[in-house]
Structure 1
Amino acid sequence: MKRSALKFLPLLALPLAAMPVLSAPIDMVTSVIDAPQPAMPAIVQADPARPPAELDKVPIAFLVDMGSGQVLYSKEPDRRFVPASITKVMTLYTAFEQMRQGRIRPEQVMPMSLEAFRKWQRVGTTMYLDPSQKPTVNDLLLGIATVSANDASAVLAEGAGGSMQNWLALMNAEARRIGMTNSHFGTPNGWMDEGETYVTARDLVTLAGAIVAGHPERYKRYIGHKSLVWGDKTKQNHDPLIGVVKGADGIKTGFTNQAGFGYLGSAERDGRRLVMVVAGGNRAKERDAAARVLMEWGFAAFSNRPIFAPGAQVGEARVQGGNTLHVPLVAPAAFGITLPRDAKGDAALRIVYDGPIEAPIAKGSRVASLEIRAGKGEPHRVPLFAGADVRPANWMERLRNGIVSPFL
């Protein structure tokens, strides 16, 4: 198989309407109430080539622009680590999926079992639940998201899953479904379990993307609150970005002696959303500083530029055995590229697919990817879809294909 040549496009010089289309023949490639928080000093240095020095104090850090899917900063993104309470984001996502399917409802009451009470009473951060109370799913989700309640996670797991093991099976099945290929969950709350629960920064960003894009209303409803009132107690959210970094809306901190200090966070400004992970920190102060400067640096040092409008033809792919020799490839939605601010260089785009693609091909089916590379960052791929139906060739078309194909 031959590799396709890189196609360089001068993106900075062209408006969206004038963006060139990859139309040259493409060869085939095998495919991929509110306590005040300390103010942070303004970040002066926003050089994309020089990430903030605070990142030197955390062993794992990862920053992704969710609009383009591009990695802006990467330090050990595929290293497994113990997530501690960041595990609860997977519990939230699994619950959101169960709600979407109608299996649980926000107003549904889920009392605490005696077994859960004995095991989780005042263990780590809790809502101080007991079997006499009648928390709803809504209450439990707010407790999990806002104050990292270990007891609420256990109650939800037992109530929604029927048993803890059933719930963990659901969590791991959802993780596999959304593409968390290097993670496993042995608890619903991240309490120490001898390493059975582990994740990677890349997988956590995948999870954040799934929860933000797949459940935007539930994300806004449950994640990002500064405090929670339950009974006669008010508990604060210790998120290091909310109220400090403009546009920050969570997502979850984590700490145990085994895991150290970690954080999965997100912020949105002017329609641009960044998601970041820092993990393995020795101190909360170091984790919080790294998270804040990484997020600010991502917004200050980079900007998004549009490439293709929704439904735009990006290029074409070779077809085998069809009534046509090529199928148009279209963008499913508007997407762009993230570049250093004031960048003056080009970006490299390449269409990637297994092929020639055999007919029949249904319009709207995913058949290729567009690989985007900007500067020295990691390449990123976005899906491309067939822009037309391609039916199997009749005998006349097969004859034509046999004559013409060698010259393409």
Structure 2
Amino acid sequence: MKAFFGKLAAMAALALAVPATASPAPVPDTVPIAMLVDLSSGQVLFARNADRRFVPASITKAMTVYTAFDLLARGKLQPEQSFTFSETAAEEWRRTGSTMFLEPGDETTVRNLLLGVTTVSANDGAIVLAEGAAGSVARWLELMNANARRLGMTQSHFGTPNGFPDGARTFTTARDLVTLGRALTLEHAELYQSYFGRRGLVTNGFAQSNHDPLTGRVAGADGIKTGFTRQAGNGFLGSAERDGRRLVLVVAGVAEQDDRDDAARALMEWGFATFTSRQLFGKGATVGEAQVQDGTSDTVKLVAASPIRFAMPRATDRPVKLSVRYEGPLRAPIAAGEAVAELQISVEGMEPSLVPLLAAEPVERAGFLGRIANALKGLLS
């Protein structure tokens, strides 16, 4: 299949004014890996070694949480279900590293386990959740890695639910973590708001603080997950939303925690201050259309899955190019709401970004006579 270019809606064909220069990002050399992305457009605002593999440490727990969110959304897990901290699991994980201070035999709800993982990075909580929801850690890891593949995290693998050192079997990249951040914040927005963004938590009588360097310190910040081991250094997957714009960042491989925290705060503030944002399409707006083969219709309208915005530095102007891309022609049947194409946003000096587009309506497969008519029409055209 080759890439097809769909027809753009008239309003999208206009040239947009985009500045050519921007102030440099405040990311010191002590931060070897960093990335900042505007999720509403998919634009990369800053990248340093975005595709270098590294050990994520407790940032791994973001995938454990996403896996739980997916099960909750599909009704295969319930917030008030209770799971037990087994004697076997307790032998390895009782008060090991970051903890909820669970004791052997303690029963804890899924809701409290998730809060323990998201707020105080509970290693024990992640294990109890994995064993309880999937029957074993091994089966939970299968779910985590299947989700990573489905999301397109091609440079990631998870060998543990909590990121505890495992001989580097667990690895990822900044680009893959941004993909995970997008999935957490956009696919499961309500669950994300319920479980992330807390400054502290009391578990089993112990009060603990969240080490997230953004939440409560940077306007609009609400997560996501820190990580640290001696092997990995200090890392962070973070997000903040202001005025309908959500930015996600990664900093990783940083020797000192203070350097990680300062860099994360400075990079997020730089992203909001240096780039302004313009909405191109509202949620559900028609962006263009794509050709359909063997369908009851020759074309299908393409709509925005969520508001599509474009980030632009505050400086001089130059044009932005928009194009609809898909592997095609699309083959019927097509379901309404199915992701079938992408809007590519291109500007000189920045990575092209791709935003998913959905089929506005269903297109059924044509009957035998309809397919013959379509074939004749194709020959004549």
TM over 0.5: yes
> 2:345 aligned with 1:372, yes or no?
yes
From the two aligned structures, give the one with the greater strand fraction: 2
Report deviation, 1:56: 2.3
> 2:76 aligned with 1:103, yes or no?
yes
**For residue 240 of structure 1, what is the amino acid of its counterpart?**
P
Report deviation, 1:103: 3.0
- Post-superposition Cα deviations, 1:133-186, rounded to whole Å, max 9, x if no partner, equal 332222211111111111111122112221111111121122222222211111
Q: For 2:139 and 2:297, how far apart are their aligned partners in 1?
A: 50
Q: For 2:101 and 2:372, how far apart are their aligned partners in 1?
A: 75
Question: In structure 2, the residue corresponding to 1:339 is in which secondary structure?
Answer: strand
What corresponds to 1:44 in structure 2?
A: none
What corresponds to 2:200 in structure 1?
A: 227
- Classify 1:228/1:372 alpha carbon distance in 2 versus 1 (closer, same or farther; 3 Å): same
TM-score normalised by the chain length of structure 2? 0.87
Question: In structure 1, the residue corresponding to 2:311 is in which secondary structure?
Answer: strand
What corresponds to 2:235 in structure 1?
A: 262
Stretches of structure 1 lacking an aligned partner (at least 5 in a row)? 14-46
> 2:35 aligned with 1:48, yes or no?
no
Q: For 1:184 and 1:118, how far apart are their aligned partners in 2?
A: 26
> 2:17 aligned with 1:9, yes or no?
no
- Classify 1:254/1:362 alpha carbon distance in 2 versus 1 (closer, same or farther; 3 Å): closer
Q: For 1:362 and 1:243, how far apart are their aligned partners in 2?
A: 42
- Classify 1:402/1:182 alpha carbon distance in 2 versus 1 (closer, same or farther; 3 Å): same
Question: In structure 2, the residue corresponding to 1:267 is in which secondary structure?
Answer: strand
Report which stretch shifted further, 205-214 or 262-271.
Answer: 205-214
Q: For 2:327 and 2:201, how far apart are their aligned partners in 1?
A: 51
Question: In structure 1, the residue corresponding to 2:164 is in which secondary structure?
Answer: coil
Question: In structure 2, the residue corresponding to 1:106 is in which secondary structure?
Answer: coil
Q: For 2:133 and 2:297, how far apart are their aligned partners in 1?
A: 51
- Classify 1:229/1:348 alpha carbon distance in 2 versus 1 (closer, same or farther; 3 Å): same
- Post-superposition Cα deviations, 1:308-350, rounded to whole Å, max 9, x if no partner, equal 3445443444566778776554444431211112452211112
> 2:189 aligned with 1:216, yes or no?
yes
- Classify 1:359/1:73 alpha carbon distance in 2 versus 1 (closer, same or farther; 3 Å): same
Q: For 2:374 and 2:144, how far apart are their aligned partners in 1?
A: 50
Question: In structure 2, the residue corresponding to 1:11 is in which secondary structure?
Answer: coil
- Post-superposition Cα deviations, 1:161-213, rounded to whole Å, max 9, x if no partner, equal 21111111121122222222211111111000001111111111111111112
What corresponds to 2:266 in structure 1?
A: 293
1:55 and 1:61 in contact (8 A); partners too: no
Question: In structure 2, the residue corresponding to 1:56 is in which secondary structure?
Answer: coil
What corresponds to 2:253 in structure 1?
A: 280
Question: In structure 2, the residue corresponding to 1:198 is in which secondary structure?
Answer: coil
Stretches of structure 2 lacking an aligned partner (at least 5 in a row)? none
Correspondent of 1:112 among 81, 85, 100? 85
TM-score normalised by the chain length of structure 1? 0.81
Q: Which structure: larger Rg?
A: 1
1:227 and 1:235 in contact (8 A); partners too: yes
> 2:179 aligned with 1:206, yes or no?
yes
Q: For 1:372 and 1:263, how far apart are their aligned partners in 2?
A: 28
**For residue 117 of structure 1, what is the amino acid of its counterpart?**
A
Correspondent of 1:63 among 25, 36, 61? 36
- Classify 1:374/1:153 alpha carbon distance in 2 versus 1 (closer, same or farther; 3 Å): same
**For residue 95 of structure 2, what is the amino acid of its counterpart?**
R
Report which stretch shifted further, 222-231 or 315-324.
Answer: 315-324
**For residue 263 of structure 1, what is the amino acid of its counterpart?**
F
What corresponds to 1:306 in structure 2?
A: 279
What corresponds to 2:356 in structure 1?
A: 383
